[in-house]
């Protein structure tokens, strides 16, 4: 079958018969599937593409209904369901948009090789596929349509360049039509000037330049590009222009932040290879342009993003900084030649070695800063060429940008992290001291004049910047939405609809990978090797940072350490040397890929069970001398413990109940008991009654669900505690229930009854003693209770357990206060308070005014 989206939707059978697809929604759905022909398109992306910012309440069902309607118009086997999305079983080359892009790339490659006559063929064929505006049947696909229209215009310019070298040259009338339609395209104006000159119409060619100069000055306050100026000079001299070196393009926005990085680059005088690395959207290109523009050297800027990276697959390079000789590099070398304004050597198709030798000869003895921008998809080729040029051209310095290092000897890295965001409670002046907020304010004022960060909106602006991880591109895209929304509406839509959906419209003239937040992350994702994609999507189950041990236990991949190192190199994962984390923006994208792969439940189940195992191992240590160390270890996993509990409360109740019980001491001792309340209440609602063998876990849920637990849950939990006849599996249940429901009316004396209820656990026996002592103190025997308290305090101290020790000291202080012994009260209370501060037991660390 053949499909057309470069104009109204067109579907043809294998015999050429045109098939009708009725209804706007089924047609839009088919266009979405065609844009990713042969690949699964996730349900979330289909909903966004069909309904934009206003999906129906049952969007998934609505999409399913549209798929059913579409299937009635096409052969049954064409649309496949794959777990969380749909796939159109078609070769991408059977879709005109994909075929157009392939032919346009081929034409541009041939044009770069100087084979103008050959290049004209595929370019004409590519442009001949267009029948009208792109994606006419996809109302919510403006960004993707704009990308295709930009590619169409670029291919038109390429064809004009190819035809200008053929006998008869280019068509002046056609170029005039194109310039009228696209007055700010300097390349088209340059081609028109050359065509006019070739036709003997020099005065008209000069008039075109003057018109361009005036237009640029009025619209942007800018001068014509060096390329157009060179054509103008050539027309004046009646000679064929030699293309100038491609310098730094004038920037249309102010430069905000990155002062430290600029200063560092400026201080690297002895480094001849500097690579700016970081995730997509952090501003690597802008920083490189700013740094290069502040230097005194002549600059040649080479944008490598248009190059096809298919021959440079992601994967580890040889260690030791050695780049394999030969084999590749021709694409990068051609791009550098073009930026330098040099022609390729000879008349035969050149070999990569010929191109590199030509560059070496041209750059030998020159003082030049060569900026290689966007190296990530041709990293090996760029590294090979950079090493050769630096080795043989001593006056050359290379400033590279990419999402990973070039990985060769002598490279100095400048990692680019997201912009700093301020704390939530910052004042306007404090917030504006952080570059993320300054960037938002600057770009917001550009689209909404008069916008300022004020007390009334500072909290919302800070929240937006923090939600977007401080990523400059994301912040700029969000600020641009102020044309349509208020700051508060942007923050609400980010929370309700997600960042990828809200930030789906950008500058249509920007590179495709920088027009939307999704495109930025997708570019990095597509450069990963298959095994790296597997780990990246599975790593997304971690809500916070993770240890290598946790990644190995949860993600089910071979050589997790090696793959993690690769993801760190590719700026998908960050590390402090011990633990690993993803930016939320990247994590959310990878989580979508996890769902599309049908692995989400398995991975999240494994994640929850791994954390349950950790909590189970930690629990006994929280009642011993290792309490502080294990509290710190659990605290490092706090975000993941909370996420695992929330997932288990919905999807695996038994694991959820066990997590509540195993983490009870951690939550209470760390003052975080509220973190479990919502999940505990949800588990109670789902289970209704105690599950067999999980009675203690049920009691823990009731205690944590205060005040959400219904009276019947309290009655059942109380009955469980009153009727128990064996030691507790979770000894902290006794303390937690006492703090929640109040102390028991009686406590068994030391002996067989206590042994039966508390076993041989020394902490449980000390807790039983604490209960007896308190009942005596409050029951009319303060002296006897105080004596028993002293014994309890000795037991907790022998264990090295700080909470119990602090409890004993507090009650001894109270007993001293009852006797009027102010000095003894203050001493005991101060020791208990110091114990709590050391423990960082926030629940019990609030100071209390001494009262007698």
Rounded to whole angstroms, how far apart are CA atoms 512 and 604?
33
Q: Which two tokens stand for residue 666?
A: 């951690």
Phi, psi dihedrals of residue 629, rounded to the nearest 5°: -65, -40
pLDDT digits (tens, 9 = 90+) for 82-93: 878 899 999 999
Dihedral (CA of 356, 357, 361, 366) sign? positive
Burial track 13-47 (b if 16+ CB lie within 10 A, e otherwise): eeeeeeeebeeebbbbbbbbbbbbbbebbbbbbbb
Q: Which pairs with CB-CB distance under 8 Å and at least 24 residues apart come from 185-188?
A: 185/153, 185/157, 186/212, 186/224, 186/225, 186/227, 186/228, 187/157, 187/227, 188/157, 188/160
Rounded to whole angstroms, how far apart are CA atoms 57 and 233?
62
Is residue 590 predicted with pLDDT exceeding 60?
A: yes
Give the DSSP H/E element, type plus range, for residue 2: strand 2-4
Per-residue pLDDT band for 611 (boundaries 50, 70, 90) equals very high
Radius of gyration for the alpha carbons in the chain, expressed in angstroms and rounded: 34
Please report how many Cα atoms fall inside a 13 Å half-sphere around the Cα of residue 3, on the Cβ side.
Answer: 26
Hey, is 127 helix, strand or coil? helix
Which pLDDT does position 276 carry in this prediction?
Answer: 96
Please report how many Cα atoms fall inside a 13 Å half-sphere around the Cα of residue 788, on the Cβ side.
Answer: 21
Which pLDDT does position 321 carry in this prediction?
Answer: 37
- DSSP classification of residue 245: P
Nearest Cα to 598, choosing from 210, 146, 43? 43
Q: Which two tokens stand for residue 21?
A: 């697809």
Is residue 432 predicted with pLDDT exceeding 50?
A: yes
- DSSP classification of residue 88: E
Q: Is 489 exposed, middle or buried (0-12, 13-18, 19+ CB in 10 A)?
A: middle
Q: Is 319 exposed, middle or buried (0-12, 13-18, 19+ CB in 10 A)?
A: exposed
pLDDT digits (tens, 9 = 90+) for 660-696: 999 998 988 877 878 888 899 999 988 888 899 999 9
Hey, is 116 helix, strand or coil? helix
Rounded to whole angstroms, how far apart are CA atoms 257 and 275?
19
CA 357 to chain CA centroid, Å, is 41
Per-residue pLDDT band for 514 (boundaries 50, 70, 90) equals low
pLDDT digits (tens, 9 = 90+) for 98-120: 999 999 999 888 887 777 778 88
Which pLDDT does position 7 carry in this prediction?
Answer: 94
Cα three-residue angle 319-324-325, rounded to 5 degrees: 155
For tokens 């991975």, name the residue. 603
Rounded to whole angstroms, how far apart are CA atoms 198 and 156?
20
Q: Supply the DSSP string of 667-690, one letter for each residue.
A: HHHTT-GGGGHHHHHHHHHHH-SP
Rounded to whole angstroms, how far apart are CA atoms 656 and 662?
10
Greater model confidence, 411 or 625: 411
On whether the CB atoms of residues 839 and 802 are closer than 8 A, the answer is yes
- DSSP classification of residue 805: H
- DSSP classification of residue 463: H
On whether the CB atoms of residues 495 and 281 are closer than 8 A, the answer is no
Q: How many helical (H) and strand (E) elements, i.e. helices and strands, does the chain have? A: 40, 14
pLDDT digits (tens, 9 = 90+) for 777-808: 888 888 888 888 888 888 888 888 888 888 88
Q: Give percent above pLDDT 90 in the chain.
A: 42
Rounded to whole angstroms, how far apart are CA atoms 462 and 7?
43
Strand ranges, E, within 360-509: 368-373, 396-402, 411-415
Q: Which pairs with CB-CB distance under 8 Å and at least 24 residues apart come from 566-570?
A: 566/314, 566/315, 566/316, 566/529, 566/532, 567/528, 567/532, 567/535, 567/536, 567/539, 569/404, 569/405, 569/407, 570/314, 570/376, 570/403, 570/404, 570/524, 570/527, 570/528, 570/532
Per-residue pLDDT band for 411 (boundaries 50, 70, 90) equals very high
Phi, psi dihedrals of residue 151, rounded to the nearest 5°: -65, -35
Which pLDDT does position 329 carry in this prediction?
Answer: 52
Is residue 511 predicted with pLDDT exceeding 70?
A: no
pLDDT digits (tens, 9 = 90+) for 320-329: 333 333 334 5
pLDDT digits (tens, 9 = 90+) for 592-602: 999 999 999 99
Burial track 169-180 (b if 16+ CB lie within 10 A, e otherwise): ebebeebbebbe
Give the DSSP H/E element, type plus range, for residue 208: helix 202-220
Is residue 524 predicted with pLDDT exceeding 50?
A: yes
pLDDT digits (tens, 9 = 90+) for 466-493: 999 999 989 999 998 898 889 999 999 8
Hey, is 575 helix, strand or coil? strand
Greater model confidence, 694 or 735: 694
Give the DSSP H/E element, type plus range, for residue 357: helix 352-363
Which pLDDT does position 200 carry in this prediction?
Answer: 80
Rounded to whole angstroms, how far apart are CA atoms 173 and 195?
10
Which pLDDT does position 843 carry in this prediction?
Answer: 37
On whether the CB atoms of residues 786 and 812 are closer than 8 A, the answer is yes
Per-residue pLDDT band for 249 (boundaries 50, 70, 90) equals confident
52-57 average pLDDT score: 85
Cα three-residue angle 629-623-692, rounded to 5 degrees: 115
Rounded to whole angstroms, how far apart are CA atoms 85 and 612?
32
- DSSP classification of residue 273: E
Greater model confidence, 208 or 830: 208
Which pLDDT does position 420 carry in this prediction?
Answer: 92
pLDDT digits (tens, 9 = 90+) for 345-392: 543 444 555 688 888 888 887 889 999 999 998 999 999 999 999 999
Please report how many Cα atoms fall inside a 13 Å half-sphere around the Cα of residue 691, on the Cβ side.
Answer: 16
For tokens 């508060």, name the residue. 488
> 669 to each of 62, 672, 814, how far by Cα in Å?
48, 8, 22
* Highest mean predicted confidence (pLDDT) among 294-298, 427-431, 677-681, 763-767: 427-431
Q: What's the whole-number average pLDDT of the chain? A: 85
Of 8-22, 61-75, 257-271, 508-522, which gets the smallest average pLDDT?
A: 508-522
Sequence-ordered list of residues with C-beta below 8 angstroms from that of 289, at least 6 positions apart, any chain: 248, 249, 251, 301, 371
Nearest Cα to 175, choosing from 205, 146, 200? 205
- DSSP classification of residue 347: S
Rounded to whole angstroms, how far apart are CA atoms 604 and 747?
43
Sequence-ordered list of residues with C-beta below 8 angstroms from that of 204, at least 6 positions apart, any chain: 196
Rounded to whole angstroms, how far apart are CA atoms 454 and 732?
49
Which pLDDT does position 775 carry in this prediction?
Answer: 83
Rounded to whole angstroms, how far apart are CA atoms 300 and 370?
5
Please report how many Cα atoms fall inside a 13 Å half-sphere around the Cα of residue 641, on the Cβ side.
Answer: 26
- How many other C-beta atoms can be found within 10 angstroms of the C-beta atom of residue 801? 24
Whether residue 707 is preceded by a cis peptide bond, meaning omega within 30 degrees of 0, is yes
Phi, psi dihedrals of residue 18, rounded to the nearest 5°: -80, 130
> 799 to each of 614, 624, 669, 739, 757, how far by Cα in Å?
22, 5, 16, 22, 20
SS (H, E, C) 507-564: CCCCCHHHCCHHHHHHHHHHCCCHHHHHHHHHHCCCCCCEEHHHHHHHHCCCCHHHHH
Q: Is 348 left (phi over 0), alpha (psi -120 to 50) or beta?
A: beta
Sequence-ordered list of residues with C-beta below 8 angstroms from that of 48, at least 6 positions apart, any chain: 55, 140, 500, 501, 504
159-174 average pLDDT score: 79
- How many other C-beta atoms can be found within 10 angstroms of the C-beta atom of residue 484? 11
Rounded to whole angstroms, how far apart are CA atoms 382 and 406?
7
Which pLDDT does position 785 carry in this prediction?
Answer: 83
Rounded to whole angstroms, how far apart are CA atoms 740 and 714?
10
Rounded to whole angstroms, how far apart are CA atoms 135 and 113?
32
On whether the CB atoms of residues 155 and 119 are closer than 8 A, the answer is no
Is residue 342 predicted with pLDDT exceeding 90?
A: no
pLDDT digits (tens, 9 = 90+) for 617-657: 999 998 888 888 898 899 999 999 999 999 999 999 999 99
């Amino acid at each position: 079958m053949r499909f057309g989206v470069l104009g109204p939707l067109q579907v043809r059978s294998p015999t050429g018969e045109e098939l009708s697809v009725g209804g706007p929604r089924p047609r839009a759905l088919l266009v979405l599937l065609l844009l990713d022909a042969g690949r699964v398109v996730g349900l979330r992306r289909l909903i966004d593409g069909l309904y934009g910012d206003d999906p129906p309440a049952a969007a998934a069902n609505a999409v399913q209904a549209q798929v059913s309607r579409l299937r009635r118009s096409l052969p049954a086997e064409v649309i496949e369901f794959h777990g969380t999305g749909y796939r159109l079983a078609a070769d991408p080359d059977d879709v005109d948009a994909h075929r157009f892009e392939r032919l346009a790339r081929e034409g541009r490659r041939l044009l770069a090789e100087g084979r103008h006559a050959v290049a004209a063929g595929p370019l004409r064929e590519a442009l001949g596929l267009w029948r009208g505006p792109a994606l006419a049947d996809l109302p919510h696909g403006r960004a993707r349509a704009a990308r295709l229209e930009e590619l169409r215009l670029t291919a038109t310019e390429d064809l004009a360049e190819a035809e200008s070298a053929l006998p008869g040259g280019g068509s002046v009338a056609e170029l005039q039509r194109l310039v009228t339609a696209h007055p700010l395209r300097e390349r088209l104006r340059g081609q028109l000037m050359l065509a006019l000159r070739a036709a003997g119409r020099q005065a008209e060619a000069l008039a075109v330049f003057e018109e361009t100069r005036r237009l640029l000055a009025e619209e942007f306050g800018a001068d014509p590009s060096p390329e157009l100026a060179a054509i103008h000079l050539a027309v004046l001299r009646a000679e064929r222009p030699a293309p100038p070196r491609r310098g730094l393009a004038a920037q249309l926005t102010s430069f905000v932040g990155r002062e430290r990085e600029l200063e560092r680059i400026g201080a690297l005088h002895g480094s001849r290879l500097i690579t700016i690395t970081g995730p997509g959207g952090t501003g690597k290109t802008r920083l490189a342009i700013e740094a290069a523009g502040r230097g005194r050297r002549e600059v040649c800027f080479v944008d490598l993003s248009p190059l096809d990276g298919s021959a440079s697959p992601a994967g580890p390079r040889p260690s030791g900084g050695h780049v394999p000789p030969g084999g590749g590099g021709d694409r990068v070398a051609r791009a550098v030649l073009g930026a330098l304004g040099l022609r390729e050597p000879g008349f035969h198709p050149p070999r990569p070695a010929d191109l590199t030798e030509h560059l070496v000869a041209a750059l030998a003895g020159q003082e030049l800063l060569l900026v290689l921008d966007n190296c990530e998809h041709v990293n090996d080729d760029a590294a090979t060429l950079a090493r050769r040029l630096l080795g043989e051209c001593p006056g050359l310095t290379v400033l590279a940008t990419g999402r990973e290092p070039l990985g060769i000897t002598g490279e100095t890295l400048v990692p680019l992290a997201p912009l700093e965001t301020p704390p939530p409670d910052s004042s306007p002046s404090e917030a504006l001291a952080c570059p993320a907020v300054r960037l938002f304010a600057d770009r917001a004022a550009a689209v909404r004049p008069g916008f300022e960060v004020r007390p009334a909106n500072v909290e919302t602006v800070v929240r937006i910047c923090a939600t977007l991880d401080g990523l400059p591109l994301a912040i700029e895209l969000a600020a641009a939405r102020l044309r349509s929304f208020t700051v508060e509406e942007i923050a609400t839509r980010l929370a309700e609809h997600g960042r990828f959906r809200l930030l789906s419209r950008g500058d249509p003239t920007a590179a495709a990978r920088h027009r939307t937040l999704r495109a930025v992350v997708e570019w990095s994702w597509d450069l990963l090797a298959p095994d790296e994609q597997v780990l990246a999507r599975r790593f997304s189950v971690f809500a916070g940072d993770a240890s290598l041990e946790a990644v190995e236990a949860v993600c089910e991949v071979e050589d997790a350490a090696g793959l993690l190192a690769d993801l760190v190199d590719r700026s998908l994962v960050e590390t402090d040397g011990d633990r690993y984390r993803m930016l939320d923006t990247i994590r959310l994208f990878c989580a979508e890929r996890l769902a599309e792969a049908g692995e989400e439940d398995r991975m999240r189940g494994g994640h929850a069970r791994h954390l349950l195992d950790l909590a189970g191992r930690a629990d006994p240590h929280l009642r011993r001398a290792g309490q502080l160390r294990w509290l710190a270890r659990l605290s490092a996993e706090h975000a993941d413990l909370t996420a695992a509990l929330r997932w288990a409360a919905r999807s695996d109740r038994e694991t959820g109940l066990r997590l509540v019980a195993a983490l009870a001491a951690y939550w209470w001792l760390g003052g975080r008991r509220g973190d479990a309340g919502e999940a505990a209440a949800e588990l109670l609602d789902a289970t209704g009654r105690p599950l067999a063998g999980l009675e203690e876990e049920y009691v823990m849920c009731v205690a944590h669900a205060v005040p959400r637990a219904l009276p019947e849950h309290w009655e059942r939990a109380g009955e469980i505690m009153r009727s128990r006849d064996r030691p507790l599996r979770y000894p902290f249940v006794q303390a937690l229930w006492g703090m929640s429901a109040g102390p028991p009316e009686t406590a068994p004396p030391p002996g067989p009854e206590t042994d039966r209820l508390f076993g041989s656990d020394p902490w449980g026996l000390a807790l039983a003693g604490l209960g007896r002592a308190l009942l005596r103190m409050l029951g009319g025997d303060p002296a006897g209770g105080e004596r028993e308290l002293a014994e309890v305090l000795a037991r907790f101290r022998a264990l090295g357990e700080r909470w119990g020790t602090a409890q004993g000291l507090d009650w001894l202080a109270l007993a001293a206060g009852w006797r009027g012994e102010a000095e003894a009260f203050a001493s005991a209370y101060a020791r208990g308070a110091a114990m709590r501060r050391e423990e960082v037991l926030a629940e019990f660390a609030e100071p209390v005014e001494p009262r007698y």
